[in-house]
Amino acid sequence: MITADTRVLVVDQERFASLIVKMLAPKCKAEAAFDGTEAVRKLREATPDVIIVEQNVGGGGIRLAELVGMNPKYAALPVILTSTRPSPETIMQARNAGVSSYLAKPFRPSELLKRIESALSSPPPGTANDQGAGSNASSESEATDEAGSEISSRVAQIDGLPPFPATHAEILKLTKSDQASSEDLAEKIQMDPSFLATVLKLANSSYYGLSKKTTSLKMAVTRLGMEELSNLVMAAQVFKNLGGYENGGGLDVESFWKHSESPRVIRRPF
């Protein structure tokens, strides 16, 4: 049910996003983002109750929906996709990306409000009914398995995943090898200046609580460890199309790592 406290994030070109925000203002709290990168920043600041995203917005509306659906923190967040030229192919892509509803432009305020109301009142696909306190352990295990299967399925359905850089693939391979040393990793990381800067930034972040900064890549590799470097490679690849990890446009490395190191919370799949 829509209330004055319902938070809606509208992701569209500036002119249209501002218009939709005004359209929704009397009924709920709506704010605008003008591309996928800005939408990610706003998601980090505060989680909305529903996202309305234009298919052709910067960064891609369907791609944003895919990434939102694969993040456990936002997996149950309803996404409404809008477009001026809906087609069977894009509607199917939107469905595979986990989009709750597809709305063709132009639309009346009443139509949009009905879609939001429906998205908020409908349980996310894959949500299981409560089964009682006696089956908590099995329910949590099933939820974890279902979430893993759901994410794997979504990844398989994504059209046009960016190619994995050869250097990143080699770094990832080294992090999985029992024979690789800090020197081996440092030598390979030096081949990617942007990733090198990210590694040093994370190693010197306040999260590790060390007063002495390091400019040594080998020391930074040792400080982070193999598992953290492996995760960082994957995070960099996933987020770089939403603004780039090099300049912090799409990924706040320190905040991301604090979240990653937090106790895991089992969330229901989208």
**pLDDT reported for residue 245:** 42
* Model pLDDT for residues 102-116, shown as the tens digit of each residue: 888 888 888 899 989
The C-alpha atoms of residue 133 and residue 131 are separated, in whole angstroms, by 7
Spell out the domain ranges in the chain: 7-121, 166-261
Q: pTM of the prediction?
A: 0.51
The C-alpha atoms of residue 82 and residue 12 are separated, in whole angstroms, by 9
**pLDDT reported for residue 8:** 95
- For domain 7-121, the CATH superfamily is Response regulator (3.40.50.2300)
The C-alpha atoms of residue 141 and residue 135 are separated, in whole angstroms, by 10
Other C-beta atoms lying within 10 Å of the C-beta of residue 54: 23
* Model pLDDT for residues 208-243, shown as the tens digit of each residue: 666 678 888 888 888 888 888 888 887 766 555 444
